Amino acid sequence: MSARGGGAGPGQAGQQPMDPQLAQFIEQERHKAVFNELVSKLTDICWDKCVGTPSTRLSGSEQSCLSNCAARFLDSSQVVMAKFTKG
């Protein structure tokens, strides 16, 4: 059964459609999981690229690098998502 509650797939005959509120909740949780995965990936990539030895404070160049890295990562993610949604 899909999150939208449509159709009966294999092994689903006789099951009732999913409650719309539950389907919405599941979709929201899926979006949260995707967002958290994106943030984790961005953190790993940009930290490895921009921060040499961890200390109590980030240097100005590290801050600038992290900011630019995050912006480029988000830009490229948007381009990829746009390509996938266009088909």
Would 6 be classed as within a structural domain? Answer: no
Total number of domains constituting the chain: 1
**Angle, alpha carbons 74-3-84 (nearest 5°):** 35
What whole-number distance in Å separates Cα of residue 57 and Cα of residue 69? 18
pLDDT single digits (tens) 16-74: 788 889 999 999 999 999 889 988 999 999 999 999 888 999 999 999 999 999 999 88
> Residue 84 sits in which domain range?
61-87
In a domain, 82, yes or no: yes
pTM of the model: 0.60
* Domain assignment present for 71: yes
Question: In this predicted structure, what is the pLDDT of residue 10?
Answer: 53
12: DSSP letter = -
Name the one residue in this structure whose structure tokens are 């600038």. Answer: 64
